[in-house]
């Protein structure tokens, strides 16, 4: 939680001092943006540690206009790297019926240059993946539904569990873990798939460099 003072006051985007924290990653102030400054330092230190591979950065935001859950990702000149960016959202779409891949987009808009996703996408190497997971304030559309279904705390938590499940599927896909998932871990149901389709939580997932080197020889599919 990178915006505790703002959220305490009821803000969803701005800190106590009125800063949109997800626009100040390029040069955060230790005085004005202390949480951002500390997290950025930590990530830079991890990235410089040869024994650590920081693979995923995901910040989680609410969205005030669009429906469903969806992701923003980065655009790269290297086509193979760009294609690999789509793997995790596609897997998440399979696991989370309220997640919309059609609302998911990959961009490098100048106005988003100060976001964590954009800044860290340029800082970390091509084995790292940086996303923003957006989730509607309001609800999600079911297949064939005439009206959105309101989100509840329980359904938000289901989406979180499905994100965790997608990490498991991602590493299975790349032969980095065995298929030994406990039988009680499964995709949450109660929602139908959809084509319809800000606070801050950062999730870092890493592994050691031995696995990182092995990963370079793995292929990534859609």
For the domain made up of 4-215, give the CATH fold: Aminopeptidase (3.40.630)
Output the pLDDT for position 184: 56
CA distance 83 to 79: 6
Among all residues, which ones are annotated catalytic? Answer: 134
- For residue 219, the 8-state DSSP code is -
Sequential pLDDT tens for the chain (222 residues): 999 999 999 998 899 999 999 999 999 999 999 999 999 999 999 999 999 989 999 999 999 999 999 999 999 888 898 899 999 999 999 999 999 999 999 998 888 899 999 999 999 998 899 999 999 999 999 777 789 999 999 999 999 999 999 999 999 988 766 665 555 555 555 444 444 434 444 444 444 444 444 444 333 333
* Every domain of the chain and the residues it spans: 4-215
Output the pLDDT for position 182: 55
Output the pLDDT for position 20: 94
Interacting residues of 203 by C-beta distance below 8 A, sequence separation 6+: 56, 57, 58, 59, 60, 163
Torsion of CA 191, 194, 198, 201, to 10 degrees: 60
């Amino acid at each position: 939680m990178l915006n505790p003072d703002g959220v305490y006051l009821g803000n969803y985007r701005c800190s106590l001092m009125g800063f949109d924290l997800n626009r100040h990653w390029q040069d955060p102030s230790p005085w004005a943006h202390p949480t951002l400054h500390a997290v950025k330092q930590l990530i830079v230190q991890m990235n410089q540690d040869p024994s650590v591979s920081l693979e995923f950065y995901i910040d989680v935001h609410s969205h005030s206009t669009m429906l469903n859950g969806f992701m923003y990702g980065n655009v790269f000149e290297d086509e193979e790297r760009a294609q690999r960016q789509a793997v995790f959202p596609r897997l998440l779409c399979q696991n989370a019926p309220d997640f919309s891949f059609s609302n998911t987009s990959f961009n490098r808009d100048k106005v988003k240059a100060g976001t964590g996703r954009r800044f860290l996408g340029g800082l970390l190497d091509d084995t790292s993946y940086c996303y923003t997971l957006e989730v509607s304030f309001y609800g999600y559309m079911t297949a064939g539904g005439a009206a959105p279904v309101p989100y509840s705390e329980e359904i938000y938590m289901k989406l979180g569990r499905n994100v965790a499940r997608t990490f498991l599927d991602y590493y299975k896909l790349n032969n980095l873990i065995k298929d030994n998932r406990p039988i009680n871990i499964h995709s949450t149901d109660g929602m139908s798939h959809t084509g319809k389709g800000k606070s801050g939580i950062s999730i870092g997932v890493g592994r050691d460099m031995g696995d990182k080197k092995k990963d370079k020889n793995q292929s990534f599919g859609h």
